[in-house]
Amino acid sequence: MRLISISIVSHLQGALVAQLLADTERYCASETLEMILTLNLPEDLPFTKQDFSFPLIIIHNQLSQGFGENHNRAFRLSSGRYFCVINPDIRLNNDPFPVLLACLQDLSIAVAAPHVVNEQGATEDSARHFPTPLKILCKVFGGCKGSDYFVKDEVVFPDWVGGMFMMFRRETFEQSGGFDQRYFLYYEDVDLCARLRLRGLLVALCPDAKVVHHAHRSSHRNLKYLRWHLSSMLRFFTSSLFLKICWIRLKNNSQK
């Protein structure tokens, strides 16, 4: 059994995956890791399993699957005590895992995430309040800009963190049922964090762990991705989960 199982899903992103795996090999304690790479579309990889000192399992999908289904299947194949989901467009300049492991020693924390910055070093909005229709409209019309949380030195406890980098204790991910596979590519991270928060567990952004995100905002440029984004948004806003979150917020605000 390895300490950490890392799940990566590639959508014709073999070159980015190669960089992420090279970063992991360079900076991280490879003897504690295993990698599970899902190729969601057929592609030729610029590397082999033998290029790395950690075990690398490669899954070849016959049909393209969603974010949740791919990572849930990787979890079932994994052996690590901790399960980590990372996007191919993440780059490492050091080892973020010791800090995240330390955060997860607090059993009230269900998900640990690093401080995500862009290529210029500015904080990305990877830690957010739960979305609402009003906030979505505000963003569409050019308002509500900037991050929801200020990240400095202390651990931040946001409503949810982006699926580009999430780390769980194995038993927490298993008991939650993993990602909801009814979503496709968007809002799986929001949904899972919401379900964990309703169980009284916390989501943590651990600022001493830092990673770089080379973001590709596909839904801003591609109608297919935009359609998936809108469909997932509608599913979340019409779910009983969203209504429960709104009710708890209203009740908490009325007690202040």
In whole angstroms, what is the distance from residue 44 CA to residue 50 CA?
Answer: 15
Task: Report, at the CATH architecture level, how domain 4-254 is classified.
Answer: Alpha-Beta Complex (3.90)
The pLDDT of residue 140 is 76
Q: Mean pLDDT for each consecutive 10-residue tract of the chain (256 residues)?
A: 94 96 95 96 96 97 95 98 98 98 98 96 93 86 81 95 97 98 94 96 98 72 82 95 91 70
Dihedral Cα 108, 204, 67, 145, nearest 10 deg: 140
The pLDDT of residue 145 is 76
The pLDDT of residue 256 is 59
Domains of the chain: which residue ranges? 4-254
The H or E element containing residue 191 is: helix 188-198
On average, the pLDDT of the chain sits at 93
The pLDDT of residue 44 is 96
The pLDDT of residue 173 is 98
Alpha carbon of residue 157 to chain centroid: 15
The pLDDT of residue 219 is 47
The pLDDT of residue 216 is 66
